[in-house]
Structure 1
Amino acid sequence: MKDQPTIKWGIIGLGAIAHLFAKELQLVKGAELVAVASRSKDNAIAFAANYHCKKTYDSYEDIMNDTTIDILYIATPHDSHAELSIKALEKNKHVLCEKPIALDYKDAEKMIAASRKHNKFFMEAFWTRFNPSFRAAFAKIKKGEIGEIRYINADFAFCANDKEKNRLFDLKLGGGSLMDIGVYPLFLAYTILGVPDSILAKSNFHSSGVDSQTAMILNYKDAQAVLYSGISHTSDMIATISGTEGQINLNKTWHMAESFTMIKKEKETNYDLPTNGMGYTYEIEECHQCLRNNAIESQLWSHQNSLELIQLVDKVKNQIGLDFSI
């Protein structure tokens, strides 16, 4: 079999997560970073030099016009995801957009519509969905190995520095714990149990107006999920999925775990599944497979999945009174 043609990537927005992503691209066969864009030319040049990238732009419009690029990874703050994704799709670029997909359902709907209109691949970068430990644990759950799921518990918290200019504490940029990390526990419950019948949420707020702590209870006909996010402290970050015949723990740090533990009849079995790099490699490979199959969405994390998840986020936002339009 002949080697597949190299898929050429561009990156828009060159913050911390873009550095992680660029490192992971180097681990994926058939991937090449050909251009990066920042509003700061100096930042773009320095970033490109780190990852052997030949082209730099200080204009997002210009990188979208680069005809050598197959797919753009959008890693800007949350508030610009919708605008930049839609523009890139209109420029006939495939798009991998960092999570959360957008600040609200209406914008997400427009992004999906643009993907379909221009027949271009679009995916929200929910890399946990492609993590080997998550996929293996999810397969066991789907096969009924721990019975009917009755309870999920997941948290995601870290201590962020609010003394310096930090997007996490900027309301205009879509900051706060819910949008940045609360989406992970919501993703876990949604992926396993689907859309809940009701949601109860409560938050504490930072002086900047963003939520610093958010607790959520998702209620289903025969199950509940108790979820939490916070940016003012740390947490165990172990996710527990409990069924009528056993329990699965996604081990620390659960959203990027390299192992999980299944407990049945008081017997514990540990499954070790080390990742290639941090784990972004698997979502990159999923993008490649979709592009080579001329698919405009992933079957593992589809357009509908992203739309349903952001609907849940919207419901939480409404309950806690979080408004990014202020």
Structure 2
Amino acid sequence: MRTYNWAILGPGHIAHKFAQDLAFVPNTKLHAVASRSLAKAQEFAATYGAPHAVGSYDELLAVPGIDAVYIATPHSEHHAHALLCLRAGLPVLCEKAFTQNAAQAQEVIAAARQGGVFLMEAFWTRFFPAIYKALELVQAGTIGEVMHLVADFGFRTEFKPEGRLFNPALAGGSLLDIGVYPLFISQLFLGQPADVRAVATPTGTGVDQNCAIALAYASGATATLFSTIAAVTENRCVLYGTKGHLQLLGRFHAPHGVLLKLYDQDQPQEIPCEKQGLGYHYEAAHVQECLAQGLLESPLLPLSFSLEQMQLLDTIRTQIGLRYPGE
């Protein structure tokens, strides 16, 4: 088997996690690191054994032998950095939120398709074994017809106006940073909603601190979703069906199993699932499988899914009155 050479564009906090987990993917290595700071790129490259480090994103395009680029810059930069790589013919795995808004997502997708270059959103949750298992159970009708889904994601952080989470210029706020997880899980299990209602609490910089979302579907199902950067929540997801309910075990965005409670059985059934490392390697391995097959997008996380989510995020931001500079 051939070795896949990964490059990382933006060696921040999440990039360290991705780089660590590449060790779990056979025939894979970190090949290059790009940062606005050459010293930072060199330090990151030395930590993970990458032979190439460059001090600008443009310089990454000149590094030979790159098979895929993982983009881990702030949300506000995903559009420009994805276009940079795609137009150079480099396959892209781009961190969520995919872009800042749906118009940017459409442009990035168009560039990938026009150039015949692979592109996927880095929604690592999709590729956990526990997610495959939960989808299998739901699609088999094990819990009956899904009537309601509840999901939350919250942590508490100090208010720093210039920090990534609070800065409107960096597309800050709870919604685009972590609210995408509850929204993603609802879209994965229930599809596109027929009705969307959202409310939020703004921070001092105008981005959302809390965001609560209610969704209704043509099937008759509903969902309640919540994100916050002001409190620690359970990071829990439960699907309630007509025959029972299903809970993703652990923090639902990185689950280690499924808890199944059927209403005609006294005891719940816990189904453990593999979870190696932090879990970022599952998406990296999937990208490599797609590249090996000559695919231009993932059959499990297609570009249409990411575009639909960005459109939902735009709708929610309109309802809560959140606009970013330049929009």
Name the structure 1 match of 2:241: 243
Superposition pairs of residues 297-316 of structure 1, within 5 angstroms: 297-316=297-316
The match for 2:186 among 180, 184, 189 is 189
The match for 2:5 among 5, 8, 11 is 8
Superposition pairs of residues 130-279 of structure 1, within 5 angstroms: 130-163=127-160, 165-221=162-218, 222-265=220-263, 266-279=266-279
Residues 249 and 260, structure 1, Cα contact 8 Å, conserved in 2? yes
SS at match of 1:137: helix
Name the structure 2 match of 1:50: 47
The two structures have a TM-score, normalised by structure 1, of: 0.97
Q: Detail structure 1 runs of 4+ shifted over 3 Å in the superposition.
A: none
CA distance in 2, matches of 1:30, 1:155: 36
Deviations 1:40-91 (A, max 9, x none): 1111111111101111001101102223111110000001101110110110
Deviations 1:115-171 (A, max 9, x none): 111111100000000011111011110111101110000000001122485200111
In structure 2, give the amino acid aligned to 1:311.
Q
Name the structure 2 match of 1:320: 320
Deviations 1:213-250 (A, max 9, x none): 00000111301000000001101111100111110011
In structure 2, give the amino acid aligned to 1:166.
G
CA distance in 2, matches of 1:161, 1:60: 30
Name the structure 2 match of 1:286: 286
Residues 248 and 260, structure 1, Cα contact 8 Å, conserved in 2? yes
What is the deviation of 1:325?
2.1
Name the structure 2 match of 1:66: 63
SS at match of 1:317: helix
Residues 96 and 125, structure 1, Cα contact 8 Å, conserved in 2? yes
What is the deviation of 1:191?
0.8
In structure 2, give the amino acid aligned to 1:22.
A
In structure 1, give the amino acid aligned to 2:208.
D
CA distance in 2, matches of 1:164, 1:32: 37
SS at match of 1:203: strand
Superposition pairs of residues 54-133 of structure 1, within 5 angstroms: 54-133=51-130
The gaps in structure 1 that reach 5 residues or longer are none
Residues 160 and 166, structure 2, Cα contact 8 Å, conserved in 1? no
What is the deviation of 1:274?
2.9
What is the aligned length? 323
In structure 2, give the amino acid aligned to 1:251.
L
CA distance in 1, matches of 2:228, 2:109: 29
In structure 2, give the amino acid aligned to 1:250.
L
Residues 65 and 91, structure 1, Cα contact 8 Å, conserved in 2? no
CA distance in 2, matches of 1:149, 1:311: 24
CA distance in 2, matches of 1:117, 1:188: 30
CA distance in 1, matches of 2:249, 2:2: 37
In structure 2, give the amino acid aligned to 1:261.
L
CA distance in 1, matches of 2:65, 2:158: 39
In structure 1, give the amino acid aligned to 2:232.
T
The two structures have a TM-score, normalised by structure 2, of: 0.97
The gaps in structure 2 that reach 5 residues or longer are none
In structure 2, give the amino acid aligned to 1:247.
H
Root mean square deviation, CA, Å: 1.0
The match for 2:24 among 19, 23, 27 is 27
CA distance in 2, matches of 1:206, 1:268: 41
In structure 1, give the amino acid aligned to 2:296.
I
CA distance in 1, matches of 2:27, 2:41: 23
CA distance in 1, matches of 2:57, 2:282: 26
SS at match of 2:24: coil
Residues 203 and 213, structure 1, Cα contact 8 Å, conserved in 2? yes
